[in-house]
Amino acid sequence: MILAIALLFAVADAPPPMKSGALSTACEAGIAGDAARSAVCTDYVDAVASTLTVDAAASGCLTQPRYDSDAAVWAYMEWLGENPQEPDADASIGVMTALVAKWPCGWSTGPASAA
């Protein structure tokens, strides 16, 4: 069900391909203090999140007012801990599913990269 909802949001340009194992490794290293890997993780999660920016008035859904990169990365990592993915799985599906599970209506002001 959540995956079906996530796919409904996927109308914007898709982020570049990345495997789930590569993204989780980058996010874990970023959390541990590796600034370069943190940027890879955050940039990818932001790219996926940009597809969840919605017009609150048109959607009729109670959206989050602002997007928060750190909260989105943590939402993905928490979801990943509960829903382990195959390392070769498409990372965008896991990120999208995690974000929609946490924020079903998306947000009205998305990542700065989506502007």
CB-based contacts of 106, cutoff 8 Å, min separation 6: 9, 52, 53, 54, 59, 61, 63, 64, 99, 100
pLDDT digits (tens, 9 = 90+) for 57-66: 777 777 777 8
Tell me if the pTM is above 0.85.
Answer: no
Low-confidence ranges of the chain (pLDDT < 50): 1-11, 113-115
Q: Would you list the domain boundaries of the chain? A: 2-9+18-114
